[in-house]
Chains A and B, each alone.
Chain A
Amino acid sequence: MIRLFGAFRGPTEASGVRVKAHDPMDVGDSDTVPASRWSRGSVRTFVALAFAAAIPLLLLSGWMATLMAQQQRDQTRSAAVASASRVAERVSSDIASQMAALGAQAASASLDRPDLADFYAEATRLKTTHPLWETVELSNPSGVQIVNLLRSLDAELGPTADRRSFDAVIRSERPVVGGIGPVGPISGQRLVALRVPVIRDGALRYVLSVGLATNAVSSILRDAGAPEGWVGTIVDGDGSTIARTRAEAEELGHPANPALRAAIRRAPHGFYSGPSLEGPDIDVVYRTLEDTGGWSVHFGMPVDALNAPVARSYYVLAGGSLLSFGLALGLVGLVSRDMAQRRSGERARFSLALRSSEEQGALAVEAAELGTLRWDTAQERVIGSVRAADLLGWDTEAPLDREIQADAGTMLDAVHEEDRDRLADAVRRCIADGMPLDEEFRVRGPGTHARWVRMIGRVPESFKAAPPTLIYGVVADIEPRKRTEAERLDLLRRLGEAQEDEQRRIARELHDQVGQTVTGLSFGLKGLQGLLEAEGVTGEAARQMQWLRSLAGEIGRDIHRAAVQLRPTALDDIGLREALATLLREWTLRHGIPSDLQFPGEASRLPADIETALYRIVQEALTNILKHAQARTVSVSVERRPDEVRVIIEDDGIGFDAEAGPGQVADGAPAKPHLGLSGIRERLSLLRGTLTLETAPACGTTLFVRIPSPPPSA
């Protein structure tokens, strides 16, 4: 419902969009929605709403109608019951009063002797007071009528008509209300007999009877008033109809239907249904009268008539239900259509968003010139974009915008053999630990040239639950960066070499030119001194001469020292071993710290750049030791291994806490051991060497330097 109401906002939104459609800044999706779609949607929504409102209304009104109809029927029925009771009471009381009158007459003195004439007169008088009485008769116990008011006193009368009730009186010696009797020979019609025994001296002398015309009973029935539409019937104990509000003439005296008789036998009052004499089924309320020899009052109504409103209400209910069902179906249809439209709209929006995000991603990937790939380790497959295939050197020709699949093995084959294992390892680690993959490796290009690429990837989030077998990654061309790096390193190397060369040149210059000239000068001075001595010059001139010679000697020594500091010529002329030995010896002499040099392994010369680097590294390490270590001894070992050269420089100084930041030593004195190390690292980076530092406070410091060096080709 909320959604439906929400949909109602549609037109207002649409109109709002129309109002600000001129706003050039508004480029949202909403103004692309056509207004007609909204109005069509709102009509449908309105109809759906009406349907939804109508369904409960229809059902409720149907139900109410049914309830009311049932109530009406019950009311009708209870009215019939009331009528039946009333009629029963009336008839009972009437009969009772007449029985009472009859009983009084039976006690009349006129019957004591009997004085029939007197009785006749009394009876005639009594009959006139009771208009319903058709006749009064007096019979002897054998059933022969003695007096009948319909005849004169002296007339021959014959047996009484209703023998059954007569016999009942004889048997019981009590008043009896008879049923409808046979057609009497005197009255010529069927009468209802009320009989009382006339008992004198304990013996039954006569039976006094009153014959009630049936129309008299009918009048009682009519007077009691039958409810509208009901048919009243009074039935005697045998089940014969005494009176009826309708079609009395035909039915009088006929036995009533079996359902009626069964009902009477069952209970003194109640309901029953059954076929009526007229034909259609009827619903009957009945009540048995007291002291009337089993008379009963019945009010019947055709079932159809009684149930008509209920049946109508059922039809209404059924119709309402059917209509509701139809409406519900329609509503379902409308809502599902609405939902389908919304879903398709959302799907369209979603796919649009997805497309746009994909496009953005693709654009970014394209702009970054990245290749994308999926590495499926379960199936040993790599599926990549064209760019990735290009970067990874797959030998495939494929149309653009297509993904290219390659075997993991093939893919690894294209990787430079030195990097292959590393990449495979990294992929395994990424799969096993979920760590991001970030590897730089070389790919064999079309020619001999290998291209550097970088692969970044990870296991997709959605696959992390299960054991992952997939890596999503991008491949980037880092060749320019690598080239720049290489160029930078090359530049550094050349700078270092140029510096070394320059220093070497200056050192040579000092030795070979300036040094020699100074040597020549000192020779000249020596010769001059000899000449002076030969001429016997002494005193001030000789002292000056001596001073000049010592000055020349000092200049020579200074030049030599400066030259060696610039570049030990021994390193070029003789080798690292001797150069280092000299370095350590000089250092020990100058600073008084004993040093030791070991050269285990082969004594062969190393490449010049490595020797220079090692010499400089030892030099810098010694400088560091002097500055920071407070060492008592220093020990250097240079070991030539088949594939590398290892230099270990160890001191027994104060060391420092390698875990703590640089610039802190155990006693808190400021020191910056890492500063000196950066120069060493710089040199090592040019030669792909490594530096490992092992130190602890008060435990000295050991530098482990390793430089890869192929064995001498000789």
Chain B
Amino acid sequence: MVRVEGLTKRFGDVRAVNCVSFELRRGEIYGLLGPNGAGKTTTLSMLSGLLEPDDGRVLYEGLDLAADPLAVKQKLGIVPQEVALYEELSARENLRFWAGLYGLRGARLAARVDAVLDQVGLATRAAGPVRTFSGGMKRRLNLGLGLVHEPAVVMMDEPTAGIDPQARLNILDVVRRIAACGTTVLYTTHYLEEAETLCDRIGIMDHGRILAEGTLDQLKRMFGEGEIVTVRGAFDPERLRRLLQGLEGVRLLSATGERLVLEAAGEQAGAVRLLSLLLGGELQVDGVSIQPPSLSALFLRLTGRELRD
């Protein structure tokens, strides 16, 4: 459905997106997971035709975005991270305007507007000015504007950022329903639980690269079943390295003066030995946390930092 090949974008000396490649299949929800600044929005901007890549290309059903941007844009829906609405207009007027821009007319336009108002739960508030809406309602309308012309592919850039749990559930429900109807969804988020529960496949992105990609199960299998042990305290990095050298099944993922992230594999034997070492007073420890295998643990293993970092 959508093929991304070697997409690269530089801003000065910074490679915001570095040779990113992946594929989206029809009707799937593909989650692009990464912390702020990972390059998700830049990738999405290039896929939406808002930003020209320095290298690489994007193909929509074989159609090159760079060669025929208008034809590709016609098939795309975007749901930007910021709430991009006309606050003076009503929800219905907003939807009618955007549907019109994508060429919908007459009865089809009216039917789609009504359908989307129902879909996002705003049918009863359709005539009121958007400026009187709550944050959650605006988010839902923001989502609806990206769906009103029935695009084949929808790009959603953190559509649930900063809203209440109920509105979030509503949005996730809409995303599942459109995917079930055959719409392909590219969904960026830094909420692990959203990616875990919503997405069919996940690409983990950091520093402009996709570090790993697959279904949740595939990702877990790909990177083993070891626990992630995070230790907080005050450490001398050199001394620490010497101590860990003889410890079988323990791999240092990242280390700073205040925090260690380690992977302890092998049916908890490594973790037990590590804890014995820590409790033996060799190091000053203020806190320890052990995470079972999960997407969060996987992200930590791949990047050495948590998503909220």
**A and B assemble together:** no
Binding site for B on A (CB under 8 A): none
